[in-house]
């Protein structure tokens, strides 16, 4: 492979998505049409466009969380290239474990699992042994200023900001070659925002391909190599 | 996972009629080692019929269920001898009932409930059986000093955890679960869900879990099969089906979840 041009890790081609709301008399809610984009290793592409234009839906389709009506979502993993739009549930889960990281501002809390264990579990998915995973998890929680007295507690009772930082720790402690970020810095204070910017820049330097939505223009300008305005893919309503 | 891509269970065209009434029609899926599949739908959707067929408690009207035996050979479960089928049910498979009284012997001790399944596969050494029973009680978070108490004396949550220990003690590869958290208090449910999730992952269990509770499916399962009027109407990755449901009935189910 040509060293000068890193491999495309994500290649989206002609993606269409319309929600059909059967409980609203089959109302059709077009989201995006004809989306094509690619993200290379070590590159950060920021999705832009006004709220409701389909940025989050697009990221969710690449993660396999939303389905698409047409098009291809080719993601590169160690086994080759997988089309998320066609892959089996098992293949998508494997892809998420090994390759595809996703960080939103919301933590889905599992009853009884502590903040530290959530982050350790994520570190372990990449084969880090229990000791190494635990030390990396602790370092990541400390770096994101999650108070140590909270580490052994389940995050259900944490503040929104604390939950968000646990979620960021979980996403960044893993070593996914691709990271999807959906407003990771929303509602963080300046100190923690700066930590997240550093984390993103480190991932880029390590060759991670990043596709993100950043509401904060200052953050976006510091991390993004390219900005892609999703408005041009907005489906005609 | 990509390396060993052989299914553990393979179901084709599975159909059951009770006279002229539909149980389920043309159900097909593969289940792989370590995969947890939730079957969701309302009562009458066919999900319980499906579970009874899979666990060979009912004979299908049509279709086949094949299972990969420990020697690696796929066998039609309805073509097995009675002895082979019983051996499967006692060792390689587990069945967790909604009502623990159906899966436990309520009058004998907790230890005997767990030990009995071990004895059924040939364990004879009393000390070892008791030791194994103790370690399983611990694993399902039952105080070990309760080993000589009968499950009649246990709370609903404890009974359910004991039923799980009794099922898992023989190291099954496939476990069927019928509404395992149904009828329990919410706080008890959360503990049981966390236990089931951890055990399934640690033991690399394949699980078919029937539930009408989408929150249970969200926490425990990798994939979802939605049934209605005996047919599978939608399948897919669990978060995909719950976050982007396509079929009208699935959208109705998802939108009916109460938000807290």
Calpha distance A109→A100 (Å, rounded): 20
**Nearest by CB to B237, which of A89, A110, A112?**
A89
Q: How far is B236 from chain A (nearest CA, A)?
A: 6
Residues of B in contact with A23 (CB under 8 A): 248, 251-252, 255
Which of B185, B227, B220, B224 is closest to B199 using CA atoms? B220
**Nearest by CB to A90, which of B32, B239, B246?**
B32
Task: Check: CB of residue B209 under 8 Å from CB of residue B22.
Answer: no
Residues of B in contact with A22 (CB under 8 A): 247-248, 251-252
CA A212 to mean position of chain CA atoms: 7
Interface contact B240-A66, CB threshold 8 A? yes
Q: How far is B191 from chain A (nearest CA, A)?
A: 7
Residues of A in contact with B240 (CB under 8 A): 64-67, 89
Calpha distance A210→A228 (Å, rounded): 13
Calpha distance A71→A202 (Å, rounded): 32
What residues form DSSP beta bridges with A229? Answer: A48
pTM of the model: 0.92
- Looking at every residue in chain B, the average pLDDT score rounds to 93
pLDDT in tens, B86-116: 889 989 999 999 999 999 999 999 999 999 9
Higher pLDDT, B191 or B7: B7
B→A contacts (Cβ < 8 Å), by residue, are 1-2, 32, 35, 190-191, 193-194, 197, 219, 222-223, 236-240, 243-244, 246-248, 251-252, 255
Chain B residue whose CA is closest to A57: B244
* DSSP secondary structure letter of residue A5: S
Token reading at A192: 């923690």
pLDDT in tens, B106-157: 999 999 999 999 998 888 899 999 999 999 999 999 999 999 999 999 999 9
Phi-psi region of A16 (alpha: psi -120 to 50; beta: other; left: phi over 0): beta
Task: Check: CB of residue A116 under 8 Å from CB of residue A162.
Answer: no
pLDDT above 90 covers a percentage of chain B that reads 82
Number of neighbours of residue B178 by Cβ within 10 angstroms:
22
pLDDT of residue A236: 65
Chain A residue whose CA is closest to B239: A65
Task: Check: CB of residue B96 under 8 Å from CB of residue B163.
Answer: yes
Q: How far is B239 from chain A (nearest CA, A)?
A: 6
pLDDT surpasses 80 at A237: no
Token reading at A160: 């929104």
pLDDT in tens, B178-189: 999 988 888 888
Complete DSSP assignment for B106-141: TTS-HHHHHHHHHHHTT---HHHHHHHHHHHHHHTT
pLDDT surpasses 70 at B215: yes
Chain B residue whose CA is closest to A80: B2
Beta strands in chain B (DSSP E): 9-18, 21-31, 36-40, 62-68, 74-76, 93-96, 174-178, 206-211, 223-228, 231-237
pLDDT of residue B140: 94
Chain B residue whose CA is closest to A79: B2
């Amino acid at each position: 492979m040509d060293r000068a041009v890193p491999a495309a890790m994500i290649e989206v081609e002609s993606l269409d998505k319309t929600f059909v709301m059967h409980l609203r008399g089959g109302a059709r809610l077009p989201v995006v049409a004809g989306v094509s984009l690619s993200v290379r290793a070590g590159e950060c592409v920021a999705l832009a466009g006004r709220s409701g234009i389909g940025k989050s839906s697009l990221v969710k389709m690449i993660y396999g969380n939303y389905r698409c009506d047409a098009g291809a979502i080719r993601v590169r993993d160690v086994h080759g290239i997988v089309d998320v739009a066609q892959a089996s549930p098992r293949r998508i889960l494997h892809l998420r474990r090994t390759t595809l990281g996703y960080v939103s501002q919301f933590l889905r809390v599992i009853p009884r699992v502590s903040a530290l264990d959530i982050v350790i579990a994520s570190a372990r998915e990449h084969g880090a042994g229990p000791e190494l995973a635990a030390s990396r998890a602790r370092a990541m929680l400390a770096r994101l200023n999650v108070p140590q007295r909270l580490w052994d507690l389940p995050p259900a009772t944490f503040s929104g900001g604390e939950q968000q930082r646990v979620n960021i720790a979980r996403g960044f402690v893993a070593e996914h070659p691709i990271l999807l970020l959906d407003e990771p810095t929303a509602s963080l204070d300046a100190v923690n925002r700066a930590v997240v910017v550093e984390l993103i820049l480190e991932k880029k330097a390590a060759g991670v391909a990043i596709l993100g939505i950043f509401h904060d223009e200052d953050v976006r300008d510091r991390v993004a190599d390219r900005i892609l305005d999703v408005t041009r893919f907005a489906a005609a309503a | 996972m990509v390396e060993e891509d052989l299914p553990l269970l393979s179901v084709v065209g599975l159909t059951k009629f009770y006279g002229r009434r539909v149980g389920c029609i043309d159900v097909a899926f593969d289940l792989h080692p370590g995969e947890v599949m939730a079957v969701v739908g309302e009562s009458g959707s066919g999900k319980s019929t499906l579970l009874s067929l899979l666990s060979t408690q009912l004979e299908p009207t049509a279709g086949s269920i094949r299972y990969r035996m420990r020697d690696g050979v796929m066998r039609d479960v309805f073509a097995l001898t009675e002895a082979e089928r019983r051996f499967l049910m006692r060792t390689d498979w587990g069945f967790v009932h909604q009502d623990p009284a159906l899966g436990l012997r309520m009058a004998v001790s907790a230890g005997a409930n767990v030990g009995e399944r071990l004895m059924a596969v040939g364990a004879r050494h009393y000390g070892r059986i008791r030791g194994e029973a103790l370690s399983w009680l611990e694993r399902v978070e039952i105080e070990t000093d309760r080993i000589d108490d009968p499950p009649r004396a246990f709370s609903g949550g404890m009974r359910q955890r004991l039923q799980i220990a009794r099922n898992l003690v023989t190291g099954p590869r496939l476990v069927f679960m019928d509404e395992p958290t149904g009828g329990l208090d919410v706080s008890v449910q959360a503990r049981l869900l966390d236990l089931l999730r951890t055990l399934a992952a640690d033991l690399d269990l394949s699980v078919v879990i029937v539930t009408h509770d989408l929150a249970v499916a969200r926490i425990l399962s990798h994939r979802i099969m939605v049934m209605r009027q005996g047919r599978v109407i939608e399948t897919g990755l669990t978060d995909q089906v719950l976050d982007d449901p396509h079929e009208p009935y699935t959208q109705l189910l998802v939108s009916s979840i109460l938000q807290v």
